[in-house]
Amino acid sequence: MKPSLQLRLAPQLALTPQLQQSIRLLQLSTLELNQELEQVLAENPLLERLDDPLRDCLRIAPNGGLDGERGAAAEIATDPVGAAADTGGIGEIDAAMPAGTDWDDGWDGADASGTDWTGEGSPRGDGDERDYPQLHAAEQSLRDHLGRQLAGMQCTPRDRALVQTLIDALDDDGFLDSSLEEIATLLPAELAIEPQELSTALKLLQSFDPTGVGARDLRECLLLQLDRGEAAAGHEAEVVRAARAIVDEHLDALAAKDFAKLRRAIRCDDDTLRNAQALIRRLDPHPGAAFGGGQAGYVVPDVIVRRGRGGWVATLNPDAMPRLRINDLYAGILRKNRGANAGLSGQLQEARWLIKNVQQRFETILRVAQAIVERQRAFFSHGAVAMRPLVLREIADALGLHESTVSRVTSQKYMLTPFGVLELKYFFGSHVATDSGGSASSTAIRAVMKELFAAEDPAQPLSDGHVAELLGAQGFVVARRTVAKYRESLRIPPAAQRRSL
């Protein structure tokens, strides 16, 4: 073979760095977007952020007191007059600065649709009328709670050290997941710890509050609570005896709702068994979970849906929108010395790209959210039972977007609705055929099933086949296995496990 040159024409898609950044920002959640921006802000001096992440927090003054004044960034964000005065005559480049915009074009931060991306028209920044949250005390951990009780006990230093060792071996639920033999092997050999000493230390630990702490399994945890007397107070002795027998030997039968087996095993009537079951339900299977659990994290919605004069309207949540602009000081330097610093010029272009891509991200989210609202208006008025079938392609064709773009927009983006904060993907679902030849959303079917299960007789719960028949009577063609799949997605146990006396 001889080497030769050949010319070929082939289409090729080239993704510019700006387009790659736009795609990456589009698929990020609000939390991931803020993390990305914090990293860019630390690396690029040309970019600055006006909104203060700590605007709702009290600050510690240099003298050790509480400082009610907010940071400089928040003051600039809430005082547009002062912000204009601090720029030194250089025009502010806010969060929608289009690439290629001239420095002196008089652009004021609003796009062609009238949307103000500067955020100064948002509800934030009400001056002195803002209510500051109270300072929260540090949460007490389970080990600290038990350690304080141990400090008040009269015992030898050796026993105190053994109980502290057992406390350190507890898990977050208050259970001792290691055997006493394993704990003994971890202690120094020169201490010559006897198994009886650890057993005595464990009994002392199990007398502490909360009741049930130090148990080695669920059975022992529930028995400790029954034996302490507080949980069993006010119940008849026969009910307590039945509850103790069930916990000691028949927990599996109770979990399976095999009441016939329980009646034969503990030899009691239905009323005693029903009261014993109610007593066991009031026991705490995780006695240590209430300590140091931490505060729950809340999802910040990207879009808020409100009812307007013309119907339901989607708007962007101003608290989820970062307020970005070009640093005026560096912008002034580059304006006076164009081309003098290539590094700063490159960072300026990167900052302008980022601001534009952030704006484009929120505009795309708003367009997709509004398209969803227009097609699911019945849901916002009547709830999940009125959800209609919707697929990504329908939204993509309506907005002129690619289906993968709509998928990125609806992933990890949330909408505040009259029925709570829901992910945008919640509004998409497969369709189920109806008797009339139409289709219904699988979300609506699950909502109807949830109502059926909530209204069922606990003594005779509905089976999957019976639920399929009830749905068929309402016009929904659903197979029994489909009902089982939807029931599992709702985290509803089978009929045998829902049965009660």
Residue 279 Cα distances to 131, 199, 215, 265, 269, angstroms: 44, 29, 19, 18, 16
The per-residue pLDDT for range 377-431, each reduced to its tens digit, is: 999 999 888 888 899 999 999 999 999 999 999 999 999 999 999 999 999 987 7
Sequence-distant (6+) residues with CB within 8 A of 27 are: 408, 411, 412
Residue 123: predicted pLDDT:
41
3-class DSSP state of 66: strand
The neighbour count for residue 126, using CB atoms within 10 Å, is 9
Decide the pairing of beta strands 414-417 and 303-308: parallel
Residue 2 predicted with pLDDT over 80: no
Residue 82 predicted with pLDDT over 50: no
Q: Do residues 279 and 240 make contact, with C-beta atoms less than 8 angstroms apart?
A: yes
Residue 228 predicted with pLDDT over 60: yes
Question: What average pLDDT does the segment 469-483 reach?
Answer: 88
The per-residue pLDDT for range 287-299, each reduced to its tens digit, is: 988 886 555 667 8
Instruction: Take residue 230 and report the two structure tokens written for it.
Output: 């507080």
Residue 52: predicted pLDDT:
65
Q: Which residues pair with 476 in a beta bridge?
A: 434
Question: What average pLDDT does the segment 12-39 reach?
Answer: 84
CA 279/CA 226 separation, integer angstroms? 9
Q: From 414, 413, 371, 366, select the one nearest 390 (Cα to Cα).
A: 371
Q: Do residues 280 and 254 make contact, with C-beta atoms less than 8 angstroms apart?
A: yes
Query: Which domains occur in the chain, in start order?
Result: 51-93 (no CATH), 142-281 (no CATH), 303-427 (no CATH), 431-498 (1.10.10.60)
What is the full DSSP assignment across 366-410?
A: HHHHHHHHHH-HHHHHH-GGG---B-HHHHHHHHT--HHHHHHHH
Residue 90: predicted pLDDT:
29
Which of 35-39, 94-98, 281-285 comes out lowest in average pLDDT?
94-98
Which of 177-181, 335-339, 458-462 comes out lowest in average pLDDT?
335-339
| pLDDT grade for 356, boundaries at 50, 70 and 90 | very high
Decide the pairing of beta strands 303-308 and 59-60: unpaired
What is the full DSSP assignment across 205-273?
A: HTTSSSTTTT-SSHHHHHHHHHHHSTTTTTS-HHHHHHHHHHHHH-HHHHHTT-HHHHHHHHT--HHHH
Residue 437: predicted pLDDT:
67
